[in-house]
Amino acid sequence: MNRFKTKFFFLLPLFLLCFTISIFIAQYSEALCIKNKRANLRKGPGTNHEKLWEVFKYMPFKQLGTKGAWKRIQDVDGDIYWVHAPLTTQKYKCAVIKNNKTNLREGPGTKFPIVAWAPVDKFFAMKVLKTNKDWVYIEDSTGDKAWIYRSLVWIQ
């Protein structure tokens, strides 16, 4: 029995430390969206760093950290970039398509017709207006609205 107490008192602080770290990481990573028409994603925090990708309005990211006026972000594929903070917002949620040739519908269900401007491809970004069970009502950067099945998008 004494051995059990020794192991328990050794493992308890280790468990509490891991739990505390996981809470800190979960609180520190925040969702954000691109709010401007376009934004350059860079290798490091500053315009002197290589431009890796150009994204458009409503592209969602997970914020991992900051350095000055720059935010370190992660995309749907887990890739990490830097973006100038004034180009982002946390005032609303955004979503991005996870696969190519994804259909968008006029209502929340497969019984509704596909919208005229679908299918759309991976990385198509949208603003989330509301959710209805397994369906998400979205708006693209031109103001077009549609419904999409929840599992087909990454929402931040």
Spatial CA neighbour of 148 closest among 109, 92, 117:
109
Which residue matches tokens 């099945």? 149
* More reliable by pLDDT, 2 or 102: 102
Spatial CA neighbour of 88 closest among 55, 124, 53:
55
Structural domains for the chain: 29-89 (2.30.30.40), 94-155 (2.30.30.40)
Q: What is the pLDDT of residue 18?
A: 44
* CA distance to 3, 31, 64, 97, per residue, from 41 (Å): 54, 16, 14, 19
Contact 82, 45 (CB under 8 A): yes
CB neighbourhood size of 102 (10 A): 17
SS3 content of the chain, % helix, strand, coil (to 5): 20, 40, 35
Q: Predicted confidence band at 29 (pLDDT cuts at 50, 70, 90)?
A: low
pLDDT surpasses 70 at 86: yes
pLDDT surpasses 60 at 15: no
Contact 117, 144 (CB under 8 A): yes
* More reliable by pLDDT, 31 or 25: 31
Can you tell me the mean pLDDT for 95-104?
96
pTM summary value: 0.79
Strand, coil or helix: 80: strand
Share of the chain above pLDDT 90, in %: 80
Q: What is the pLDDT of residue 82?
A: 98
pLDDT surpasses 70 at 139: yes
